Amino acid sequence: MAALPQQVIEAWEQHTGPVVLTTVSTTGIPNSIYATCVGRFDAERIVVADNYFDKTRANIKAGSYGSLLFIVGDDSAYQIKGRLEYHTSGPVFDDMKSWNPEKHPGHAAVAIVAEEVYSGAERLL
């Protein structure tokens, strides 16, 4: 695992609105969703709560890599690309349960493990 660049960790603390999480089906069809229940687990992983996934869950379980896009207050965009982990128990799952609103089911915690990171067109990792 590669640590997220410090610039991205600082930007994450300033992100606004929902993130966009994109996965790809086994037949190559992309699927993007808005997600509002998100958090940073550690220096390598951003987590999205699986509250109501369907196609996204199927893609992840089939081995899809993913992309997570977020915007900060000055309208700068950051994109993280990498492997997706699907946690239904353990530390990542427990952490997600601590910040995911109780009104949502929190079936699992999806962590994107950074392999490439961009700020606009500039590659940071």
- CATH number assigned to the domain comprising residue 73: 2.30.110.10
Q: Is residue 1 part of a domain?
A: no
74 falls within a domain: yes
Cα–Cα dist 53/73, whole Å: 27
Residue 25: helix, strand or coil by DSSP?
Answer: coil
Q: Could you tell me the residue range of the domain that residue 118 belongs to?
A: 6-123
* Residue 49 within any structural domain of the chain: yes
| Cα angle value 3/62/65 (rounded, 5°) | 30
The encoded tokens of residue 61 equal: 């379980």
Asked whether 23 and 31 are in contact (CB, 8 A), the reply is yes
Measured distance CA(90)–CA(43) in Å, rounded:
18
The per-residue pLDDT for 1 is 66
Length of the chain: 125
pLDDT of res. 17: 93
Note down pLDDT in tens along the chain; length 125 residues: 679 999 999 999 999 999 999 999 999 999 999 999 999 999 999 999 999 999 999 999 999 999 999 999 888 999 999 999 999 999 999 999 999 999 999 999 999 999 999 999 999 99
* CB 81, CB 65: distance < 8 Å: yes
Q: Is the residue at 61 inside a domain?
A: yes
What does the DSSP 8-state code read for residue 98? H
User: How many domains are there within the chain?
Assistant: 1
pLDDT at 2: 79
